[in-house]
Amino acid sequence: MKKLNPDFMYLKDMYNDDYYPRFLVDKVKDCIVEVVEFLEKEEYEDLEEVQEKLDEMTEKINDLQEEFDENDSE
């Protein structure tokens, strides 16, 4: 199973931009890392399972919109 380099910098541009609150970028990163770890566990033949996980991640990130708005970001 291929794995992402453990030193990979997620969302580097968002972390380097003060417009985005760091604690919210951390939440987005956590959503992404969850999917990466899921994908690295095994080879998935059931692409629906993978799609469900990706959809779940997208919904979690979208649910952060209000928090971004409240912190003068988007």
Sorted by where each begins, the domain ranges of the chain are 12-70
The answer to whether 68 and 74 have CB atoms below 8 angstroms apart is: yes
pTM attached to this predicted model: 0.91
Mean of pLDDT over the chain: 95
Mean pLDDT of 49-59: 97
Residue 42's pLDDT is 86
Residue 28's pLDDT is 98
Residue 2 has pLDDT above 90, yes or no: no
Residue given tokens 């990706």 in the structure block: 54
Residue 48, CB-side half-sphere exposure with 13 Å CA sphere: 0
Mean pLDDT of 7-16: 97
pLDDT digits (tens, 9 = 90+) for 19-51: 999 999 999 999 999 999 999 998 888 899 999
What is the C-alpha radius of gyration for the chain, rounded to an integer number of angstroms?
14
The gap from C-alpha 19 to its chain's centroid, in whole angstroms, comes to 18
